[in-house]
Amino acid sequence: MKDPNDTRDITPRPGSPLWIYLSVVSVAGLAILCAAMLSLSLAGVHQLIRSPLVWTIAVLIMVGELRPIITPGKSGPDSGVPSVTFSFAALLYWGLPVAAVLKAASALIAGRADRKAVFRSAFNAAQDVLALAAAWAALGLAGIHPEPAQPWVPSGGQLAGVALAAAAYFAVNFTLVTIAISLHSRAPLLEIARQEFPYQAFVNLALLSAAPLVVVVMGRSPLLVLLFLLPLIAVYLNAAVSVQREHQAMHDELTGLPNRKLLLRRAEEALADAARSRRVAGFLLLDLDRFKEVNDTLGHPAGDKLLQAVAHRLTHSVRPGDLVARLGGDEFAVLLPVIKSASTAREVAARLRAALAEPFRLDGMALDIEASVGIATYPGDAPDVQLLLQRADVAMYLAKENRTGVEAYDPARDRNSPARLTLMGDLRRAVDSGEVELQFQPKVLLADGRPAGLEALVRWRHPERGMITPEEFTETAGQSNLMRDLTRHVVDSALDQASTWWRAGLAVPVSLNVSARDLLDAGLTATISRGLDSRGLPPEALMLQINERVLTAEPAHAAAVVDALAGLGLSVSLDDFGTGYSSLLRLKQLPVCEMKIDSSFIGRLHGGADDEVIVRSLVDLVRALGIRSVAKGVESAAAAAALRAMGCDAAQGRYVSRPLRAAAATAWLRKHMVTPAPPVDPSGGRHGRRRKTTARAAGPA
């Protein structure tokens, strides 16, 4: 049964209700124990001491007390104690004095071995003695009076009396401990009883029902009693394997921290306790800054070591009772089951950031890592666990976006309306059910009309709202962990289609748009690399499009990510060129092989001489940098002709083709490719085909 002081090994305040209760129970148990011992004659004591059977049972009770059977989902105090079986057997065979002495002595010795406080050991021994006394009284009512000098062995017709004694034992034990837990946690007694009763009743039924069998064997030989060790060992081993499997299912393999599943379970329990006691709970979401640079520079083994070191620092920087978990990648969470207010959560967040700010020593190098932390509290910010996690994620993203380090959730800064929250829930389901699909918009070389590639555009075919464009859901997804799942789904879908085309000899690159949130994902490069390798695709099969405004807003970080992606041999396209404020020096340094001139300029191409000068200047600038130019939003043959005359390399827009589903895009490729390329040999893989894309990868592809 659960120990009422399992979380805090401190003496209750003298005079408090818990202190008074534990004292009364301990004194009552001591009185029963003394009375039982006085009932033993000196000759009877000497006879018991010389009995091998008594020592055998004493050893079994001690082993059972020291080694509880811990089952999945239960802690040591909650687990079954095999000593119950043997102490109850001693009660049936010899009576109360022997059973009470053996059980009390084992409880005190086990408490000392586990370094429990004296008051805990005294209470545990006392409640066991009182439970045995209740069982002894029930045996007397059934006409059963075992004594040390006249041991009793049950027969089939006396099992009703044994059952009555077992029920009395469990009722007293369960009641005494439940009251202690209620006083300690200040929770309603009936609520504690309702939670604990089913499991405890089942465990005690199993343990107590084995006692009559032990008594029957005790009447035969002490050596036969030792045979009970074999099934006991089997139970221990089976429970240990189950606990180990549960631990693996509930913990992160790399860091050993609780995973998302265990975090959500503990969060549900913490919020239920907070609601019952009218307290506040907190939730922190941490995302490491610049972790991707470690993976890209030193490799994933070094990144794994760093994550383990981060996990160690986090677990040693929180308060007792707080839970640190790893959600995946470089994202961690901290559950604060009880806090005074949101300011307490801020203090914990500041302490965690300070702990991570100290340089990490890794393979002789000092690494500087920082974290962005989002805070949400219950019940002020969210009424349930899922919303608490989502709002902490919103706050974390604001902290990363604004470079403030720590942000608490603020409804005024949350761009998620209730409708958007509903949309996010639908989107999470849609990613898993295949409602999110890709369409492909071709781009062609203006010189001869040959295909220059296809841009993958994500679309959501909602069962009720029909086709939903990315503008309606990507911003919402970008404020949560869902963006990572969505990006991986899009990458996998695009690579699957590219693999189909390349195997059929339609070897054109597929372009993917990369958002600002994607560039903060430390696992993006690895995801793409594994995707290409698993499908045997060369790097040339994929092109990544990055908006110029992203490079302007995050110049240092984005440039590092672009370099890492280009290091895989991928081509990089700068999207919406002309709408940002990139310097020519930065553009020349970036490994970009294509620039897409924003459609807002192309749409004004025939608006006057000034507009044409702007477009011509952009085309000339891109050519001077040695990069291919692509005009977006080309709607007419006249615009295409004008762009061709200016020297623009390629065009994309309604004039070329509207976005097409995969089957239609395949037909379009077959029609417009003059000579399909030879099919890709999947056995050849990518090895030996990777190239380093540089800023001077000039000319049409």
Average pLDDT of the chain is 81
Do the beta carbons of residue 531 and residue 491 sit within 8 Å?
A: yes
Section 176-189 average pLDDT? 82
298 and 400 both lie in a single domain: yes
Contact 317, 352 (CB under 8 A): yes
Q: Cα(618)–Cα(622) distance, rounded to whole angstroms? A: 6
**Same-domain status, 159 and 289:** no
Question: In this structure, which amino acid lies at residue 599?
Answer: S
Is 9 domain-assigned?
no
* pLDDT (0 to 100) of residue 296: 66
Say what the pLDDT of residue 7 is.
Answer: 33
pLDDT digits (tens, 9 = 90+) for 601-623: 887 776 566 778 888 888 998 88
- In a domain, residue 579? The reply is yes
Number of domains in the chain: 3
63 and 196 both lie in a single domain: yes
Q: Does 390 or 470 have the greater pLDDT score? A: 390
Residues 323 and 379 grouped into a single domain:
yes
**CA 354 – CA 346 distance, rounded (Å):** 12
Assigned domain for 434 exists: no
Q: Give the C-alpha distances (Å, rounded to integers) separating 266 from 125, 255, 392, 460.
A: 31, 18, 16, 34
Note the pLDDT of residue 2: 39
- Do 96 and 196 fall into the same domain? yes
User: Is there a single domain that holds both residue 88 and residue 144?
Assistant: yes
> Mean per-residue pLDDT for 320-349?
89
- Contact of 330 with 288, CB cutoff 8 Å: yes
CB 531 within 8 A of CB 560: no
Q: Judge if 608 and 492 occupy the same domain.
A: yes
- Read off the pLDDT of each residue in 317-346 and give the average, rounded to a whole number: 89
DSSP-based three-state secondary structure for 339? strand
∠ CA 124-127-128, rounded to 5°? 85
In this structure, are 244 and 322 located in the same domain?
no
Cα dihedral: 462, 463, 467, 472 (round 10): -30
* pLDDT one-digit tens code per residue, 2-57: 333 333 344 677 878 888 998 999 999 999 999 988 888 777 788 888 888 889 88
**Are residues 454 and 523 located together in one domain of the fold?**
yes
Spatial separation of the C-alpha atoms in residues 403 and 397, rounded to whole Å: 10
| Joined tokens for residue 686 | 């990518």
CATH code of the domain in which 552 resides: 3.20.20.450
Element (H, E) at 159: helix 159-185
Bridge-based pairing state of the strands 370-378 and 406-408: parallel
The C-alpha atoms of residue 447 and residue 582 are separated, in whole angstroms, by 28
The domain that holds 370 is classified in CATH as: 3.30.70.270
3-state secondary structure of 23: helix
- For 417-447, write each residue's pLDDT tens digit: 566 667 777 887 887 777 888 999 999 999 9
pLDDT tens per residue across span 626-660 = 889 999 989 989 899 999 999 999 999 999 999 99
Residue 220 has pLDDT above 70, yes or no: yes
Range of the domain at 120: 17-250
What pLDDT sits at residue 481? Answer: 66
**Last residue of one domain, picked from the residues 375, 398, 414:** 414
152 shares its domain with 300 = no
**Residue 405 domain-assigned (yes or no):** yes
Q: How many CA atoms lie within 13 A of 67 on its CB side?
A: 13
CA 642-648-654 angle, 5° bins: 65
User: Does some domain include residue 621?
Assistant: yes
Question: Does 331 share its domain with 235?
Answer: no
286 vs 330: CA distance, rounded Å: 8
Residue 431 covered by a domain: no
Secondary structure string (H, E, C) spanning 412-447: HHCCCCHHHHHHHHHHHHHHHHCCEEEEEEEEEECC
Q: What is the mean pLDDT of residues 563-577?
A: 82
- Specify the higher pLDDT residue, 490 or 515: 490
Identify the domain boundary among 250, 269, 299.
250
Tokens of 685: 């893989």
Question: Are 193 and 225 within one domain?
Answer: yes
Residue 424 lies in a domain: no
Q: What is the CA radius of gyration of the chain?
A: 36
State pLDDT tens for residues 111-150: 888 777 787 888 889 999 999 999 999 999 989 999 888 8
